[in-house]
Amino acid sequence: MGVTLTIDQHIARVVIDRPEALNAMNESVLVQMKQAVDSIQNNENVRVAIFMGGGVKSFVAGADINYMSSMTPLEGEKWGKFGQSVFMAISELRCPTIAVIQGYALGGGTELAISCDLRIASEKACFAQPEVKLGIIPGFGGTQRLTRLIGPGYAKQMIFTGDQFSALQALAMGLVNEVVSHDKLIERVDALAQSIISGSPNGIRLAKEAIEHGLQGSLNKGLQLEAALFGLCFASPEQREGMTAFVEKRKPKF
> Which residues are catalytically annotated?
111, 131
Contact set for ligand HXC, span 73-112 (CB under 6 A): 79-80, 83, 104, 106-108
Could you give the C-alpha distances from 57 to 15, 153, 185, in angstroms and in order? Answer: 14, 29, 13
- Strand spans (E) along the chain: 3-8, 11-16, 48-53, 58-60, 97-101, 104-106, 118-122, 126-128, 165-166, 178-180
Q: Is 203 exposed, middle or buried (0-12, 13-18, 19+ CB in 10 A)?
A: middle
- Among 12, 59, 64, 238, interactor with ligand HXC by CB under 6 A: 64
Which region among 37-45, 55-63, 178-186, 200-208 touches ligand HXC (by CB under 6 A)?
A: 55-63
Per CB under 6 A, does 51 bind ligand HXC? Answer: no
In the complex, minimum distance from the CB of residue 140 to ligand HXC, in angstroms, rounded to a whole number: 4
Per CB under 6 A, does 63 bind ligand HXC? Answer: yes
Report which residue's Cβ sits closest to ligand HXC.
Answer: 107
**Which DSSP category does 130 fall into?**
G
Could you give the C-alpha distances from 147 to 104, 142, 143, in angstroms and in order? Answer: 20, 8, 6
Q: Is 99 helix (H, G, I), strand (E, B) or coil?
A: strand
Cα gap 105→143, rounded to integer Å: 16
- Among 53, 54, 139, 201, interactor with ligand HXC by CB under 6 A: 139
Per CB under 6 A, does 53 bind ligand HXC? Answer: no
Cα gap 165→98, rounded to integer Å: 20
In the complex, minimum distance from the CB of residue 164 to ligand HXC, in angstroms, rounded to a whole number: 8
Nearer to ligand HXC, 54 or 107 (CB): 107
- Among 22, 114, 155, 170, interactor with ligand HXC by CB under 6 A: 22
In the complex, minimum distance from the CB of residue 25 to ligand HXC, in angstroms, rounded to a whole number: 7
Judged by the rule CB under 6 A, the positions of this chain that interact with ligand HXC are 21-22, 24, 61-66, 79-80, 83, 104, 106-108, 130-131, 134, 138-140
